[in-house]
Structure 1
Amino acid sequence: MRKALVLLLFFAGVISVTGNAQPITVPPLEKWPAHPRILLVKGEEQAIERSVADNPVWRKMHEAILRASDTIIGLPTLERKLIGRRLLSKGRECVRRLFYLSYAYRMTGAEKYLLRAEKEMLAVSQFSDWNPSHFLDVAEMTMGMSIGYDWLFDKLSPGAKKIIREAILQKGLEPSFDSRYNWFLTATHNWNQVCNAGMTYGALAVAEDHPDTSKLIIERALNTISLPMGDYKPDGAYPEGYSYWNYGTSFNVMFLSAIEKAFGSDFGLLQSPGFLKTGSFLENMTGPTGASYNWGDCGTGTNLSPAMFWFAQRNQDPSLLWVEKKFLDRSDYRSLAWERLLPGAIIWGKDIPLNKINAPASNVWVGQGPSPVALMRTSWTDPNAIYLGFKAGSPSVNHAHMDIGSFIMEWGGVRWASDLGSQEYESLESKGIQVFGRTQDAQRWSIFRMNNFAHNTLTVDGKLQLVKGYAKIDRYSDNPRFRYAISDLSTVYEDQLKRITRGVGIVDDGYVVIRDELTTLDKPTTIRWTMLTAADVEIVNKNTVFLKKDGKQLTLHVDSRAKVELKTWSSQPTTTYDAPNPGTTFVGFEVTVPANHAETFTVRLIPEVKKIKTKIRSLDRWK
């Protein structure tokens, strides 16, 4: 009776939150499929064996997983040691170790992998808890333990099996029903994806022993993971940026892959607009230098993304692996073995014709949604190509910065216009800084890397951008003569400017232009235009700057009727909590614009010494 009431209350909440007329339910199962039932069922190892034998890419990846597993055997078992308020690093390592060891045992039958996996799971089972106050930790720990339990089920000792199963239930699944911890069910970001995936793996692992609890958890996930999946619409742009795509989307793929394997259905989730398009977003977020466009709480680092093999397979589009190809083409795969989901690349990618990975057809990708972005380049194959990334959106999005209207630019294998990206959370939280507020007065905006003073955008009268504001990509073009994107930023500067529109583009495959058109309110207004760079900066005259790096030169040239003052600003912190930003500086200009006045600023970023003949027209004439 109590369980029926729980189910009734839960699904009433689901309908309220998601707007679904009817909740998704899984079909009744008289008998759950035999173990292993998660991701890779019994007998599917043979297809992997054939791929490993026939293809040197999969052979090298397979061998890298085995070598990493041998290394894991020599390490101490995991211990419950928090970093600040998080156990997350241990949870992630739990996934890596048990995914790798279980794969190694299933593919080789070598008992050393089985014994070490069992030892690891018993050690994690003895933790006092898996840190439910930061539920991502529980989700990752549960996923790792569930893969090990399910994949090694027939070989684990009866005593170990009981201990591990009870740990998954008591330290993984049961805390997810506690209202202190399960707020992730109503989240529209990566927490929902990661936590629902982890809980679903736990539910699938112990389903025959706890069928009612497992069914409830799986149906709960099916009905609530649609919330973050809805934020990919309409084009696949991921609201939280590159690094969090690799977190939230990868776990969403882990969830979908496991659900389809267990039930033979995606329950309609893949009809969510934009989700199957999001592989193109990630691919276009990497520039010719190999670094990502690191807006928001993200870093520039890139690595192989196993989830991209799932998207390439589902879309039957090997070109989605163009960026991944650079990781596959190397001779040494050892650096890939820190990716905890690496076995997934083989599971999802083994049937993809890797010899047909061609460059994407388009040099421009634009996505709307909570964090609209325009990404354009002159070539996918030339390492010296021009690359331009432009971001609109709102500071109110999870993990967002006050970077609306910001851009990055690469040319000649150098990133000339950069983004500082993220600061490690514990370095701030340990000093009492509240990192995650989203109101206008949140302490988050006192963190240098997160406010507009530290981004390649405009600052008006020394004020912050408005959290409540939102800008979309209003127009764009993929014409090779003039690739561009335009965004009206006015709501982000409401009460600071009457209007402000920014357009960015690549002209004739030769140089980049950034044009701002603004109108002031009834008072003189000081505009600051900034661009972060790691280049050496030389102000040549009143409207020209030379930037030099790695033996190359980029010219920054400003056109305006106003008397702009070219300047540089330090990027180094002035507080005890902000991270240092060595080797970088801000270059740009300040100008005071009279009251009720319309003004334009056109900045060109010109590779080497080129004579520019093209006149940049007003934004309403960009065609």
Structure 2
Amino acid sequence: MNLVPHPRLYISADHYRRVQQPSNLPILAAAAGRVTDLARKFLDDPAIVVDETGHNYHLIRARRMQTRIVTMLTEFRRTGDRRYRDAILEDVRRVSEWEYWSWITWRQNDPRPEAIFDLSYGENSATLALAFDGLRDTLNVAEVALFVETARRRALGPYIHVNGGEKKQGYYRKPDTNWNTVCNGGAGMLALAMGGLCAESERVVALVEEGVAPFFEFLRGDGAWPEGIGYWNYGMRYGFMYLLSHERATGRRHPLLERAGTQATLLFPLVFSPNGAPCSFGDVNHFSPLPFHVAAAERFGREDILAELDRRLEARAKGGMSGTWPDDAELLLLHPRRRLRSKAAPWKRVSLQEGLEWGYVADRWPAPSLYVSVRGGTTDAPHVHRDLMSTFCLVGDERLIENVPVDDYLDTTFSSRRYELYETSAASKNAVFINGVGITDKVTARTTLLGGPGYDGFRLDVTEAMGTMRDGPVARFCGRAILMVKRKGVLVIDRIELPHAGLVESRLHTFFKVTFGKGDATVRGKKGRLHVSFAASQPARVKPGMGMPTNPARGPDTTLRQVSERKVHEVTLCHFLMPNGRAKVALAEKGERTTVAVTGDLRFKISFATAGLRF
């Protein structure tokens, strides 16, 4: 391989020179202070404390080591204080000597380095790559040998062992999992860093190129990601770190960075976390901007994305970055060091994500006052919940209606009993239930855009997703329409048609205080409130319920239940969400059509063919 001199990964010599100059930008001044404080702490205390009863604690240890090393590397490059350099080398020796890199093989009592190449291997490889690349010009022969021996024995050799033959690790070319880029990307970064010093480097880079291609080729034109925004951050962090490193190390533009979906994906987590409030689906509904996002946006010249990232970073400058990785250090290195402002974001106000079929509708961008996200698509993907047809409703920066999230991973989380957990089950989602149960596993909701005078939204057909019962399909038809009305309220219409009479229910969940009335309820947030009015074509009750979160630290959610009073063959249910006001919803059936009318602080009327919820 023909590679440029060190430093040649995504953190360049220009980046290291950049941190030597102070910045008057508040987010960078705050980050600089935290980096200095943390680096000094790391010098004084080499301990890495993790909860060894926790899920995948070896991975947590790897991340904390990466934070140690990259933070001290940044401080070394900023100050020239060799104590940081020497401490990094001691940490590299520790990483080299860890008996187990993998939690999986630790549980199996298999200490062979080549037994696996998993997430911990990927993250440790990236850490070694950054340390070697950033220190290369300061290392003596023995210190270089430490990196070479560690890279070959603990990372590059094992990677080739498990991915270089006919049988490969399950993530290797899998397009829809963060494991792909974390494992492949980490190995690729280390191979690029070591170059000709390791005989395995060229082979590893070739394998990595083959492995990561399906991941980025999977992205459609809008860059949507099926694991949700939390795992987007994880997978894309390592994916972009590798691709940007490859471009810099080889001096050539990478074809995967030329794809439309690769650029478009930078917007995906922003439009599913409006005002910094995550409204995504699946296991990790969390999102905090990471510095790789800034570097990638700068690579593509996306000033709108850079401005939004800056807006969010400034909003939390005092509290610091996420803390999972060396975020403050990377921000100091990668931020373009100029104030970015965007008066308006040229983003779609209503969007159905291509292929994924998740949707959102906002009253405006980049800071909506009313926003709804909608879960269509399939549950046949990693890290999904039984959450088809569910929604989030955001008022300002408060999720007044939300699905119940997963707080922690347990041994049951990734087992055959996964969907018995409250947080992953349909019972914790804002959805429709027939005879007490919601959607089943590995099913699809067909989702289409709706639009007309005064409304925008989506129609979801979840008939097949409701599954089967003792003698056939649960439903002849089950569908939902979710409409933002006049950019001021949200109308949800559910239509259920059954082969045999059954109980039908629609649920909403919130962690805020709820006051129930007769046929309505009010959700009171810390800043705003949401009035919810209910109506039905058959007698129905509005009842409170209480969730049962698995994690003892989380208080129970309140459930707003609209339930048919008796078993029915068919029914139309609807509810209207009115932020910071009041409105009443009513429906009337006449012949083959139904009309839903909203009165009060907002007036609206819509008609549709009753059977099959056809507009």
Give the TM-score normalised by structure 2.
Answer: 0.85
Distance 2:237 2:93 in 1: 27
The amino acid that maps onto 1:340 is: W
Structure 1: tracts of 5 or more residues without a match? 1-27
Which residue, out of 527, 532, 537, partners 2:514? 537
Partner-residue secondary structure (3-state), 1:616: strand
In the other structure, the counterpart of 1:238 is 225
- The equivalent position to 1:169 in structure 2, one of 135, 142, 152, is 152
Task: Tell me the alpha carbon deviations over residues 418-439 of structure 1, each in whole angstroms, 9 at most, x when there is no partner.
Answer: 12211311xx21xxx2x225xx
Establish whether residue 492 from structure 1 lines up as the match of residue 455 from structure 2.
Answer: no
Question: Does residue 1:568 correspond to 2:552, yes or no?
Answer: no
Contact 1:132 1:181 in 2 (8 A): no
CA distances 1:149-207 after superposition (whole Å, capped 9, x unpaired): 22102223433332232112211222223449833213330000101111012212222
**Structure 1 residue 260 and structure 2 residue 247: aligned?**
yes
The letter of the residue matching 1:488 is: D
* d(CA) in 1 for partners of 2:527, 2:261: 42
Once residues 454 and 95 of structure 1 are traced to their aligned partners in structure 2, the CA distance between those partners, rounded to angstroms, is 36
Aligned residues: 571
**Over aligned residues, Cα RMSD in angstroms?**
2.9
Alignment partner of 1:170: what SS? helix
Structure 1 residue 271 displacement after superposition: 4.0
Using the alignment, how far apart are the partners of 1:548 and 1:156 within structure 2? Answer: 60
What is the CA deviation profile of residues 344-383 of structure 1, one whole-angstrom value per residue up to 9, with x for unaligned ones? Answer: 44554417x5333334133625243564222222244667
The reply on whether 1:61 has 2:31 as its aligned counterpart is yes
Name 2:437's counterpart in structure 1: 463
Counterpart AA for 1:208: G
Matches within 5 A, 1:274-353: 274-288=261-275, 290-300=276-286, 302-329=287-314, 332-333=317-318, 335-336=320-321, 338-342=323-327, 343-350=329-336
Identify which range, 447-456 or 508-517, moves more after superposition: 508-517
Is the contact made by 1:176 and 1:182 (CA closer than 8 Å) also made in structure 2? Answer: no
- Map 1:29-178 to 2 at 5 A: 29=2, 32-42=3-13, 45-47=16-18, 49=20, 52-53=22-23, 57-78=27-48, 82=52, 83-131=54-102, 133=104, 135-178=118-161
Deviation at 1:401, TM superposition (A): 0.2
SS at match of 1:389: strand
Indicate yes or no: 2:582 matched with 1:609: yes
Q: 1:592 to 1:274 in 2, by over 3 A?
A: farther
Q: State the distance in 1 between where 2:208 and 2:371 align.
A: 39
The 1:480/1:90 distance shift into structure 2, 3 A limit, reads: farther
Query: 3-state SS of the aligned residue for 1:497?
Result: coil
Contact conserved, 2:479 with 2:494, CA < 8 A, in 1? yes
For the residues of structure 2 that align with 1:299 and 1:120, how far apart are their CA atoms?
Answer: 33
Residue aligning to 1:449: 423
Q: Secondary structure at the match of 1:355?
A: coil
Residues 476 and 98 of structure 1: CA distance in aligned 2, closer, same or farther (over 3 Å)? farther
Q: Which amino acid aligns with 2:480?
A: R
Q: Could you say if the C-alpha distance between residues 325 and 462 of structure 1 is closer, same or farther in structure 2, counting changes exceeding 3 Å?
A: same
CA 1:74 to 1:472, structure 2 compared with 1: closer, same or farther past 3 Å?
Answer: farther
Residues 158 and 104 of structure 1, relative CA distance in 2, 3 Å threshold:
same
Q: Secondary structure at the match of 2:517?
A: strand
Deviation at 1:413, TM superposition (A): 4.4
Given that residues 188 and 242 in structure 2 are in contact (C-alpha distance below 8 angstroms), is that contact kept between their aligned partners in structure 1?
yes
Q: 1:125 to 1:78 in 2, by over 3 A?
A: farther
Q: Whole-Å Cα distance in 1 between the matches of residues 217 and 527 of structure 2?
A: 46
Q: 1:460–1:578: structure 2 CA closer, same or farther, 3 Å change rule?
A: farther
**Deviation string for 1:395-432 (max 9, x for gaps)?**
2210000000000112254321012211311xx21xxx
Aligned-pair distance for 1:484? 1.4
Quote the Cα distance in structure 1 between the aligned partners of 2:427 and 2:24: 54
1:404 aligns with 2:388: yes
- Identify if the C-alpha distance between structure 1 residues 569 and 257 changes in structure 2 by more than 3 Å, giving closer, same or farther: same
Partners of 1:273 and 1:361 lie apart in 2 by 17
Identity %: 18
3-state SS of 1:475 partner: strand
Partner of 1:25: none
1:330-479 to 2 correspondences below 5 Å? 332-333=317-318, 335-336=320-321, 338-342=323-327, 343-350=329-336, 354-362=339-347, 364-369=349-354, 371-380=356-365, 385-425=369-409, 428-429=410-411, 433=412, 435-437=413-415, 442-477=416-451
Conserved? CA contact 2:185–2:242, under 8 Å: yes
CA distance in 2, matches of 1:463, 1:519: 15
Distance in 2, Cα, partners of 1:380 & 1:622: 30
Residue 209 of structure 1 and its aligned partner are, at CA, apart by 1.8
> Is residue 154 of structure 2 the alignment partner of residue 183 of structure 1?
no
Aligned mates of 1:228, 1:194 — CA distance in 2 = 11
Change (3 A) 1:81 1:158: farther
Find the aligned partners of 1:282 and 1:403 in 2 and give their Cα distance: 19
Deviation, 1:122, is 1.6
Deviation at 1:487, TM superposition (A): 2.1
Q: Which runs of 5+ in 2 are unaligned?
A: 106-117, 468-472, 584-599
